[in-house]
Amino acid sequence: LEHIKGDLFPDEIYVFTPKGKIMALPRGATAVDFAYAVHTDIGHHCTAARINYELMPLRTELKSGDQVEIITAPTARPNPSWLNFVATGKARSRIRHFLKTLQQRESASLGERMLEQALASLKAAPESITPERWEALAREYGAKSRVDILADIGQGKRLSFVVAQALTRAVPRAPDDAPQGPPRLGALQLRGVEGVAIQYGKCCRPIPGDAIVGQFRRGQGLFVHTRDCQTLRKSRVENDQIVDVEWASKVEGVFEAGIRILVDDQRGLLARLATAISDAGANIEYVSMERPDSDRVVNMFFSVQVKDRKHLAHVMRALRRIAEVKRVHRART
């Protein structure tokens, strides 16, 4: 049967589900294409595939006669890199729709926090803005909803202070003698879970504990830099692009930091350095090496993932305990 189908439809392949159902896919289709062909939710949550009872990566290209089982996880979600290898229009459109929705949701969450910051500076409470006022502003801006306006703020397409002023035109403000909070109550707090809406500058690699500042780039969102970032200082940044930000009291996730090390060149040293970093609870993203004029020393750069400045200091102390390490310092770039 498969040979007959192959002769009649040379541009298609025929694969089997674990229950024996035959599914037709275009030639070049991958396990991700199969997952979306079964069901959109299966595609959104797939993590790997078992092809002919063997565990294989999702980018594996299928062939006629394969039996395919998709492995899923409730916390998994589509990866933008899937768009580089999927072959079916259904998989491509579902992935793009998910990523677009995700970006809007994360941007709207960031925009809401920035708007609250702007409203606080105007002494207006967010709950004082009525649904009718939001609807009127959406019509004025030509936006579909409140979420679209907040997403525009999060992506840098609208200034939060301008939106706050528009929303409070007819909203009574809090009295001047209202209780005042801490000096930096209006600062936007970063919790490390903002997703694509916030990006951390590769030029200075800020991590929790660093003094930071935010820069809005129109259409790109918020970029976070250290306050002493030389790249930010040299660039022409307008005052309305600068946003007051600070780390929240509890920050989640890991952040990229650079460590530069000068070492004596010894066989097996790289493995020992990697072990020390791993034992200190950090992950290595990449390593580069260069040999100065002297043949006896090597200048190494490690990009590592750490939780904060204390964690980075712990990693650096672990490296200094290795006898061949001559110098260790944090490298911004």
Per the CB < 8 A criterion, the answer to whether 114 and 189 are in contact is no
Question: What is the reported pLDDT for 10?
Answer: 58
Mean pLDDT of 102-110: 86
Q: Is residue 246 very low, low, confident or very high in pLDDT (cuts 50, 70, 90)?
A: confident
Which residue segments constitute the domains of the chain, with CATH numbers given? 2-87 (3.10.20.30), 95-167 (no CATH), 197-247 (no CATH), 255-331 (3.30.70.260)
Whole-prediction pTM = 0.55
From the list 185, 241, 244, 228, the residue with the least C-alpha distance to 333 is 228
Per the CB < 8 A criterion, the answer to whether 119 and 126 are in contact is yes
Angle at 77 between CA 223 and CA 65, to 5 degrees: 140
The SS3 call for residue 181 is coil
Name the token pair of 56: 């294989």
Question: What is the reported pLDDT for 219?
Answer: 64
Which residue type is seen at 177?
D
**Using CA atoms, how far apart are residues 74 and 176, in angstroms rounded to an integer?**
49
Q: What are phi and psi of 230, to 5 degrees?
A: -70, -35
The SS3 call for residue 292 is coil
Pairwise pLDDT comparison (174 vs 73), residue with the higher score: 73
Q: Is residue 8 very low, low, confident or very high in pLDDT (cuts 50, 70, 90)?
A: very low
The SS3 call for residue 323 is coil
Question: What is the reported pLDDT for 6?
Answer: 44
**Using CA atoms, how far apart are residues 330 and 259, in angstroms rounded to an integer?**
5
Mean pLDDT of 133-159: 87
Question: What is the reported pLDDT for 134?
Answer: 92
Burial 250-272 (b: 16+ CB within 10 A, else e): ebeebbbbbbbbebeeeeebeeb
Per the CB < 8 A criterion, the answer to whether 310 and 207 are in contact is no
Question: What is the reported pLDDT for 301?
Answer: 94
β-strand partners of 16:
22, 67
Tell whether the model's pLDDT for residue 3 goes beyond 50. Answer: no
**Using CA atoms, how far apart are residues 271 and 262, in angstroms rounded to an integer?**
15
Per the CB < 8 A criterion, the answer to whether 261 and 302 are in contact is yes
Of 25-34, 95-104, 272-281, give the lowest mean pLDDT range.
Answer: 95-104
Q: Tell me: the pLDDT tens digits for 264-319?
A: 988 889 999 999 999 999 999 889 988 877 678 899 999 999 999 999 999 999 99
**Using CA atoms, how far apart are residues 135 and 96, in angstroms rounded to an integer?**
28
β-strand partners of 194:
none
From the list 35, 31, 54, the residue with the least C-alpha distance to 44 is 35
Of 4-13, 58-67, 226-235, give the lowest mean pLDDT range.
Answer: 4-13
From the list 304, 221, 225, 291, the residue with the least C-alpha distance to 262 is 291
**Using CA atoms, how far apart are residues 127 and 114, in angstroms rounded to an integer?**
15
Mean pLDDT of 29-44: 95
**Using CA atoms, how far apart are residues 40 and 244, in angstroms rounded to an integer?**
41
Question: What is the reported pLDDT for 1?
Answer: 44
β-strand partners of 49:
56, 70
Mean pLDDT of 2-20: 70
Of 12-21, 148-157, 168-177, 256-265, give the lowest mean pLDDT range.
Answer: 168-177
**Which pairing describes strands 12-16 and 325-331: parallel, antiparallel, or unpaired?**
unpaired
Tell whether the model's pLDDT for residue 60 goes beyond 90. Answer: yes
Of 22-36, 173-187, 189-203, give the lowest mean pLDDT range.
Answer: 173-187
**Using CA atoms, how far apart are residues 63 and 207, in angstroms rounded to an integer?**
46
Per the CB < 8 A criterion, the answer to whether 294 and 282 are in contact is no
Of the chain, the percentage scoring pLDDT greater than 70 comes to: 86
